[in-house]
Structure formats: structure tokens, C-alpha cells
Amino acid sequence: MDKIDFLFVGVGGQGVLTASRLISHVGFKSGYDVKLTEVHGMAQRGGSVESAVRLAKKVHSPLLSKGDVDFLVSFECLEAARYLEYLKPDGKLLVSDEMLSPLPVISGKAEYPADIMDKIREIGFDFELINASKLAKDLGNPKTINIIMMGLLSKYLDISQEVWIESIKEFLPEKLHEINIKAFMLGRQVS
Amino acid sequence: MKKIMLGNEAIARGAWEAGVNFASAYPGTPSTEVMENLKKYKELYVEWAPNEKVSLEACLGASLSGNRSICSMKHVGLNVAADVLQTLTYTGVNAGLVIVVADDPGMHSSQNEQDTRYFAKMSRAIVLEPSDSQEAKELTKWAFEVSEETDLPVIIRSTTRLSHSSSIVELQDRVEAPKKSLEKNPEKYIVLPANARKLRVNLDNKVKKALSLFESTSFNKIEGDGATGVIACGVAYEHAREAFKYASFLKLSTTYPLPKSLISEFVVRFDRVYVIEEPDPFIADEIRAMNLGVEVIGKEVFEPSLEMSPDLIRKTLFNVEAPKYDLPVLPRPPLLCAGCPHRGVYYALNQIRLKKKDLYITSDIGCYSLGALKPLGATDTTVCMGASLGMAAGLAQNLKSDDGIKVVATLGDSTFTHSGLPGIAELAYNKAPVLAIILDNRTTAMTGHQGNPMSGIRARGDEVEPIRIKKVLKGLGINHIKVVDPIDFKKLQKTIEKMLKLNEPCVIISKKPCVLVERAQNVKYFVDEEKCKGCKVCLNVACPAMSFDKDAKKVKIRADLCYGCGLCVDACLHSAISQL
Ligand SMILES: Cc1ncc(C[n+]2csc(CCOP(=O)(O)OP(=O)(O)O)c2C)c(N)n1
Ligand code: SF4
Ligand code: SF4
């Protein structure tokens, strides 16, 4: 592919930035030009978080264009819906089935739209929905959801497993290598 | 060697490679990581200053001593430092002085969208605008030379999208700048009118010198040979490259003073040129004023308050609409963390309001600004750092006769040392009957938990004696001061009620560390399903650990998110919440 655009979305604290930084590192090691944008500040107090990664021979804008993104990876269902308009009609949507209550739900003013993924399907988007939070819990570290999702994503990319594993090692602190490599492999094997 | 670097990280790298010796900053999104990254280099002195004005003054001092210096701030920080800047261009510098100012088009995390380049034009400070991380590093490096050559401070003007984007950077080694000697030069550094007049004349010469550098620098470049003419700068240049497929580009990296010969050479090739910049049509207006007989289309045709992007360019200029789907998406605003000490204060104030006590609550800038969001909805104003106190004074002086309404000001510890001290002096000196509550969470939380003079933690992590806040307040003339732990919000509520009766300036220090700094609590709370009536009243504390289970019609607390502050126990009218 001459360009690959990724959008990672979720809720503050879910490890969205770690995921996007990891894939940009993987892209860099594979010889792509790379741009990544991230949201800091207010959004980190449990707000909606997005981070975009663009790989190509030469990347100009760090910002994505709506309707042109190849992979939308969401760590939370409602967030998948919020950013859906970025995805190409034939793009890939990967979702972890977490449902985290936003403020209107927390304060009892609204209900979480539990059928949101069905609605996304009705529009015509194909997606892979996995129970990453359970997988992560079974693995013994609920914080590995993001790396499990990266394993899942890796199935669709023409990048060798070695580059991924090397990148995880270069990127994360040593004491987290083993668990995250396991998480990555787990995501890669989900079917 | 090459590395992926955040824009702010690349700016820090550029300064380091240029041999910078002194760095001082006050945090502010999106500029904070400049200093956070400078801290990683051992060769230089780094500090958090109490505010932006002090940090720029400290840099000027360092420059006079003969060392290269850098400070960084967000755009509104330059308002605080503006007094220094407007005269710093007159005095000039000894060793190179660079000011990083990060604007926030689209207001991702700011109260306004001001364009730093107007300040630069007013003071005649130089502005360089990088478009990606590599250029951020290169321009920062060059900025020190330009500053020394022109005897002017140089602003590296960033924007959120440059500061918080990463791209590949080629690293180089640090070159120690030749040490200059300490400069003593009263005619230059004492701006009494007689000197200032001479300095003012010379200022124009300094700008001319900068201009001659900028007319020929390769950082400004003409690219492509398409029939459409596009002038762009900063990260907006990258957006323009993407949105205009067949165009000629003039990429400007020096935006004050503008290289006008280069610009006219480019512009006259077309009947019409597009100027892509943000947030304001600064360059576009300058080009219009040049009267080149060419139509100039600039930022004024774009909807205000939106960040520039390839999509926005396509939509505004080419009428290309992006896809839209109709999905039931709920907003997800940020909110105070579970167990946040600020919540207790606003909860207590709301409880007092429930007793039909009319309060007007001014607030300030920090995590506690979120106390304004419903359902807490506790505060009435947030304007700029320190404004809670001055505004409260004005309100209280004018409401005096109008009894009933009491004025309360709430501000954080970092905000207090940033710009709260003169506000306290105002309350004491002019006897404004205001209750000020200092939300002392021992950190500058909003911007990523930097130390400050109230916590005593310094930039490199070492600690000094924190400000003795009670002594300071007493010394300023406040006679009623109480320190309360907001976790004991019943006591807090009583203290507030007592203080409100005094009708005098008084201060409560609500002291409890931010939960992300010190996770002290580890008890958990749960909802007894038998007792819970599903009335949702407790949800008014807006704690992210709590939610309403619509099937069971009961409130639930997620044990993994609960911090154990106990606030919800009090909020429940049916004693349904207790310790696990
Ligand atoms: C003049 C200015 N400088 C910097 C900022 C960025 N800023 C926003 S909130 C904040 C820190 C507030 O810290 P504190 O008052 O201690 O409150 P906390 O976030 O810890 O609750 C800063 C530095 C700003 N908004 N205005
Ligand atoms: S980071 Fe600290 S101060 Fe900010 S909302 Fe969370 S607990 Fe409160
Ligand atoms: S005790 Fe209640 S209010 Fe405090 S963190 Fe736990 S659920 Fe939230």
C-alpha cells in the first residue's frame, strides 16, 4: 500500500497513545515516513481520546481526512461510533467490546446506546468486535487491552511478526515485555 | 541517527544542540513538553518558574550573563509575559534568547484562540514557524543565531498540531555556544526615556537586519509550478500540501518580519493567491496591505474557531463535504477523577446552596475548572489565571449592600503562586468580603503534575521548603485562615458556613494531594441493592466510578475505579452506600 492511515480512539486511561506510538515505531522501522498526532490536556481526564498515525512514502499533514482512513481501532464501542466518519467505506473497523459510561450516563441523564454496534453494521460497515477486556483480565493484566488490539490489527498488515516483537521490546519498559508480547500474540490469534 | 519526535521534543532537541544553557518555563498545554524534554538533558539548568513573566525575565537575566536561554509557554502565557516582551525588543539580548509560544487554534485546551503573531508585530520580536518536527529542531537551532545576530528575542511559534504531532528527526550533536561575557551596558538595559528613544530608533534597524536574513534564507521556499498560488506557514503548510494537489507553494518559515520581496516575486505570478495559516489572517492582511493587485483569499473565509485541516480546506474552498452518519453518540467531556479532592469542595458549596444560601462562585484555571460541568455545575465564572480573586473582589464590593449573595473564589495552588498573590493583596487591602478557597492538591495537575512553589518540588525532582502559605496570607493581611482536608467535607462545609458569616476577606486552604500524585486511600465503597431506591440523587457527585444500571434500576460502583473518598455515602439519601 502506498499509504496507510490509522485512527486509534478510546477513553482517557485506555492506552490509546501507547498503541499509536507503537505502530508509528513499527512503521518507522519498516521504512515508512511517519506522522502521529495525539491529544493532550483536558481530554485525558476520562474524556474521549484520539490519536492518528499516517504511514506513507512522504506524509504531509498529520491530520486524517474523513472517509479516507484505512483502519479505525477503537478501545470502546461508543468511541467507534463517534469517529466512524473517518473510516473509508471499505476500511477496517476493529473494536474492543468495552462500554464505558460517559458523563451523561454517569449522571443519570442518558442511557448508554447498548445497540450501537448493530447500528454501525446497519450503515454498512464491517467490523471485528473482540472481548479484549476479558482476554486481558485472563492474561492477568487488564491494562494490556491496547496491545491485544495491536495484535489483532497486525493480522491485516504486511509487517513481519519480528518487527512487531522487536518494536514492543524497544518501546516498552523491560518488565512489561513478557506480558505484552503474550498480549500481542493473543490478539494476533483471535479469530 | 533518526528518531520519531514530538514537535515539542524536537524544539527541546534543537535548543540542546544549539548549546542552550538556561531554560525556564511555566507549564501550559500545548507547550509543556518543551520543558519536560529539556529536563532530560543534563548539560543545562532547568526550572519551572512561578509564571511566564518571571520565566522570560529569568531568561533575559541569563542572556545578560552570557548564556543562551530558552523559555516556553502557551499563547495566553505570553499575555502574562507581554510586559517583558514589549521592552525586551528595545533592550535586545546578549546571548541568544528564544521564546517558544504554542498557540491553540480550535481551542483544544484553552480559553481563547489569540494569534501570537500580533504580539510579535506589536513588539517587533522575530517569529519563526516550523511545520514539522525536523523543521522545529532546525529552526530552534537557527533561532539562537538569529537572536544574537539581530539583537532581538526570537519567538518559535508553534501550534497544538505541531507541538503534539510526531515525525522523523535527524539528530545531531550538541555544539557548545562560545561563552559571551557578562554584559553591563546601561544605555541598552536601562530604558529611561532618553535611552528608550535611541533604542526605539535602533529597533527599526534591527528589524531591517532580520529582514535581510529572511529574504534569502532557504527556510522560506518556493515549490511546484501549478497554476494555483498558495502561501502557507506552520503545520497549515502541510495541510495545504495535502489539500491543493496542483499548486505552486510559497512556504514561509519567517513570519515576522515577512520577506516582502520574496512574497511579491511569488504573488505577482498569479491573479489570485490563497494564504493558508491559523488562527487569524495575519499574513493575508499583510499581503493585502502590500497592494500587489492580486486577489488574496485568507483565513477570513473559513469558519472561525475551527482548527485548519485538509478537510476544512476542501470543504471551505472546494465545497467537498466529508461523510456524516446519524448515530446516537453521547458527548464524553473530561471529568474530575474518582476521589479528586476538588470534588469535595464543590460538593460542600453545592450543599450550602441547597440550604437556600445564595452563592456566587468565581473559579479559575486548572482541573477544578471541571467543577463547572453539570451535574456539579458549582461555579459561575472561569476567565483567566488568577481572575477568580480580582473578579470576586469586584463582585463583593458591588454586592455589599445587596446582602444575601456571598462571593466565594476558588483557585488551585499553582494558580495561586502564578497570579493569585496580587489578588489576595486586593482582598486584604480593599477589605473585600470574599471567601477564597485555595484548592491545594500539591501539584499543577491539569498540565501533567509539575511541581510548583506551593509543593516545593522542583523541575529536576529535588525538593525545597514549600511556601508557608498561612504565613504568606497572614503577612498579606488576611486575618481568618483555616486549613481543612476536603475528604472531611462535613467539617469543610461547616468551616465554609462559619467563614461566610464573617463578612471579611478570609481564606480556606483545602489541602489534599491529587489522587494521581498520591494514591493514599484504598478502601472501596459499594451500593447495597436492597437499600438503593434508584433515585439517582447520588449521581450528582459526578464520580466516574458510579453509574446507573438501567436493567436493575440501581446505582452501581465499579470497585476498580472507586478511590474510596466516601463522598457518595453522604450524597445518598437512603444510606445505601457503605464501605466494602
Ligand atoms: C497564563 C496561563 N498559563 C498557563 C495556563 C495553563 N494552565 C491551565 S491550568 C494550569 C495549572 C493549574 O494548576 P492548579 O491551579 O494547581 O490546579 P490543578 O490543575 O492542580 O487542579 C495551567 C498551568 C493557562 N491557562 N494560562
Ligand atoms: S488529576 Fe488530580 S486534580 Fe485533576 S481531576 Fe484528577 S484527581 Fe483531580
Ligand atoms: S467513594 Fe464514592 S464518590 Fe468516592 S471514588 Fe468511590 S464511588 Fe466515587
A80-89 pLDDT per residue, tens: 999 999 999 9
pLDDT given at position A191: 73
CA nearest ligand 1 atom 10, residue: B366
**Which residue do the cell numbers 522545529 mark?**
B136
- Helix, strand, coil percentages (3-state) for chain A, rounded to 5, are 45, 25, 30
Residue A170 at interface with chain B, using a CB cutoff of 8 Å = no
Q: What is the mean pLDDT of residues A10-30?
A: 94
CA B414 to ligand 1: nearest atom: 16
| Contact between chains at B334 and A78 (C-beta distance less than 8 A) | no
b vs e for A114-145, b when ≥16 Cβ sit within 10 Å of the residue's Cβ?
Answer: eebbebbeeeebebebbebbebbeebeeeebb
- Grid cell, residue B57, equals 525575565
Q: At what angle do helices B234-243 and B310-318 cross, to 10 degrees?
A: 60
**Which residue do the cell numbers 504580539 mark?**
B119
Measured in angstroms, the CA of B550 and the nearest CA of chain A are apart by: 8
| Contact between chains at B328 and A105 (C-beta distance less than 8 A) | no
Cβ atoms B263, B287 nearer than 8 A: yes
pLDDT given at position B334: 87
Distance (Å, whole) CA B134 – CA B10? 7
- Close Cβ partners of A124 (under 8 Å, ≥ 6 residues apart): A89
Report the DSSP beta bridge partners of residue B509: B438, B483
A153-172 pLDDT per residue, tens: 999 999 999 999 999 999 89
Among B29, B109, B336, say which to mutate for ligand 2: greatest number of ligand atoms within 8 Å of CB.
B336
Mutate to test the interface with A, among B76, B332, B550, B563 (most CBs of A within 10 A): B332
B217-273 pLDDT per residue, tens: 999 999 999 999 999 999 999 999 999 989 999 999 999 999 999 999 999 999 999
A45 lines ligand 2 (CB under 6 A): yes
Q: What is the mean pLDDT of residues A27-53?
A: 87
Residue B215, CA atoms < 13 Å, CB-side half-sphere? 11
pLDDT given at position A156: 95
Residues of B in contact with A48 (CB under 8 A): 332
pLDDT given at position B129: 98
Q: What is the mean pLDDT of residues B194-211?
A: 98
Q: What is the mean pLDDT of chain B?
A: 96
b vs e for B260-280, b when ≥16 Cβ sit within 10 Å of the residue's Cβ?
Answer: bebbeebbeebeebbbbbbbb
Percent of chain B with pLDDT over 90: 92
- Close Cβ partners of B132 (under 8 Å, ≥ 6 residues apart): A35, B7, B162, B165, B167, B235, B238
Pairing mode, strands A127-130 and B480-484? unpaired
Looking at the CA of B439, name the nearest ligand. Answer: 1
Nearest chain B residue (CA) to A22: B4
Confidence band for B522, pLDDT divided at 50, 70 and 90: confident
Distance (Å, whole) CA A167 – CA A163? 6
Domains and CATH numbers, chain A: 3-102+112-189 (3.40.920.10)
Cβ atoms B38, B406 nearer than 8 A: no
Q: Which residues line ligand 3 (CB under 6 A)?
A: B 338-339, 525, 541, 543, 545-546, 557, 562-568
CA B558 to ligand 3: nearest atom: 7
Residue A42 at interface with chain B, using a CB cutoff of 8 Å = yes
pLDDT at B503 over 80: yes
Distance (Å, whole) CA B53 – CA B83? 8
B299-349 pLDDT per residue, tens: 999 999 999 999 999 999 999 999 999 999 999 988 899 999 999 999 999
| Contact between chains at A45 and B238 (C-beta distance less than 8 A) | no
Give the lowest-confidence range in A139-148, B42-51, B520-529: B520-529
B447 lines ligand 1 (CB under 6 A): yes
Pairing mode, strands B22-25 and B221-223? unpaired
Which of B325, B337, B560 is nearest residue A45 as measured by Cβ atoms? B337
Distance (Å, whole) CA B457 – CA B169? 32
| Contact between chains at A113 and B30 (C-beta distance less than 8 A) | no
CA B541 to ligand 3: nearest atom: 3
| Contact between chains at A39 and B164 (C-beta distance less than 8 A) | yes
Q: What is the mean pLDDT of residues B550-569?
A: 91
Q: ipTM value of the model?
A: 0.96
Measured over the CA atoms of residue B274, residue B280, residue B283 and residue B285, the dihedral's sign is positive
pLDDT given at position B179: 85
pLDDT at B402 over 80: no
Residue A59 at interface with chain B, using a CB cutoff of 8 Å = yes
pLDDT given at position B549: 86
Residues of B in contact with A23 (CB under 8 A): none
Cβ atoms B392, B436 nearer than 8 A: yes
Q: What is the mean pLDDT of residues B144-155?
A: 98
Would you tell me which CATH number, out of the four given (3.40.50.970, 3.40.50.2000, 3.10.20.30, 3.40.50.20), belongs to the domain B2-216? 3.40.50.970
Q: DSSP alpha helices (H): ranges in B522-566?
A: none
Residue A35 at interface with chain B, using a CB cutoff of 8 Å = yes
For residue B384, report the distance from its CA to the centre of ligand 1, in Å. Answer: 9
Distance (Å, whole) CA B328 – CA A51? 22
pLDDT at B574 over 70: yes
pLDDT given at position B489: 86
| B536 Ramachandran zone, left/alpha/beta (phi>0; psi -120 to 50) | left
Report the DSSP beta bridge partners of residue A5: A54
Looking at this protein, which amino acid is placed at residue B230? V
Write phi, then psi, for B465 (nearest 5 degrees). -60, 120
Distance (Å, whole) CA B502 – CA A146? 54
Distance (Å, whole) CA B420 – CA B424? 6
Distance (Å, whole) CA B448 – CA B430? 35
B365 lines ligand 1 (CB under 6 A): yes
b vs e for B38-58, b when ≥16 Cβ sit within 10 Å of the residue's Cβ?
Answer: bbebeebbbbbbbbbbbbbbb
R_g of chain A, CA atoms, integer Å: 16
Nearest chain B residue (CA) to A103: B332
B251-263 pLDDT per residue, tens: 999 999 999 999 9
**Nearest by Cα to A81 from A37, A114, A104, A41:** A114
- Equal CATH topology for B2-216 and B221-318: yes
Among B103, B119, B414, say which to mutate for ligand 1: greatest number of ligand atoms within 8 Å of CB.
B414
User: What dotted CATH number matches B221-318?
Assistant: 3.40.50.920
pLDDT given at position A45: 78
Domain range list for chain B: 2-216, 221-318, 342-511, 525-579
pLDDT at A41 over 70: no
Which of B109, B311, B375 is nearest residue A107 as measured by Cβ atoms? B375
A111-147 pLDDT per residue, tens: 899 999 999 999 999 899 999 999 999 999 989 999 9
Distance (Å, whole) CA B86 – CA B308? 29
| Contact between chains at A65 and B310 (C-beta distance less than 8 A) | yes
The residue count of chain A comes to 191
What DSSP designation does B418 have?
Answer: I
Mutate to test the interface with A, among B8, B33, B104, B166 (most CBs of A within 10 A): B166
B337 lines ligand 2 (CB under 6 A): yes
**Which residue do the cell numbers 440501581 mark?**
B554
- Close Cβ partners of B11 (under 8 Å, ≥ 6 residues apart): B34, B37, B72, B100, B130, B136, B137, B140, B156, B158, B163
Residue A17 at interface with chain B, using a CB cutoff of 8 Å = no
Distance (Å, whole) CA A5 – CA A87? 9
Confidence band for B403, pLDDT divided at 50, 70 and 90: low
Mutate to test the interface with A, among B329, B337, B350 (most CBs of A within 10 A): B329
| Contact between chains at A35 and B132 (C-beta distance less than 8 A) | yes
Residues of A in contact with B374 (CB under 8 A): 107
pLDDT at A40 over 70: no
pLDDT given at position A107: 83
B421-451 pLDDT per residue, tens: 999 999 999 999 999 999 999 999 999 999 9
Superfamily of domain B342-511: Thiamin diphosphate (ThDP)-binding fold, Pyr/PP domains (3.40.50.970)
| Contact between chains at B331 and A120 (C-beta distance less than 8 A) | no
Looking at this protein, which amino acid is placed at residue B351? Q
Confidence band for B357, pLDDT divided at 50, 70 and 90: confident
pLDDT given at position A70: 98
Measured in angstroms, the CA of A68 and the nearest CA of chain B are apart by: 9
What is the per-residue DSSP string for B31-86?
Answer: TTHHHHHHTT-TTSEEEE-SSHHHHHHHHHHHHHHT--EEEEEETTHHHHHHHHHH
Residues of B in contact with A12 (CB under 8 A): 334
Residues of A in contact with B448 (CB under 8 A): 40
**Nearest by Cα to B252 from B268, B230, B270, B272:** B230
Which of B165, B328, B333 is nearest residue A35 as measured by Cβ atoms? B165
pLDDT given at position B519: 73
Q: What is the mean pLDDT of residues B108-118?
A: 96
Q: What is the mean pLDDT of residues B357-384?
A: 95
B516 lines ligand 2 (CB under 6 A): yes
CA B446 to ligand 2: nearest atom: 4
- Close Cβ partners of B310 (under 8 Å, ≥ 6 residues apart): A61, A63, A65, B239, B242, B243
Count Cβ atoms within 10 A of the Cβ of residue B463 and give its class: 0-12 exposed, 13-18 middle, 19 or more buried: exposed
Residues of A in contact with B373 (CB under 8 A): 103
What architecture (CATH level 2) is domain B525-579?
2-Layer Sandwich (3.30)
| Contact between chains at A45 and B327 (C-beta distance less than 8 A) | no
| Contact between chains at B367 and A45 (C-beta distance less than 8 A) | yes
| A64 Ramachandran zone, left/alpha/beta (phi>0; psi -120 to 50) | beta
- Close Cβ partners of B290 (under 8 Å, ≥ 6 residues apart): B260, B263, B264, B267
B336 lines ligand 2 (CB under 6 A): yes
pLDDT given at position B404: 81
| Contact between chains at A78 and B539 (C-beta distance less than 8 A) | no
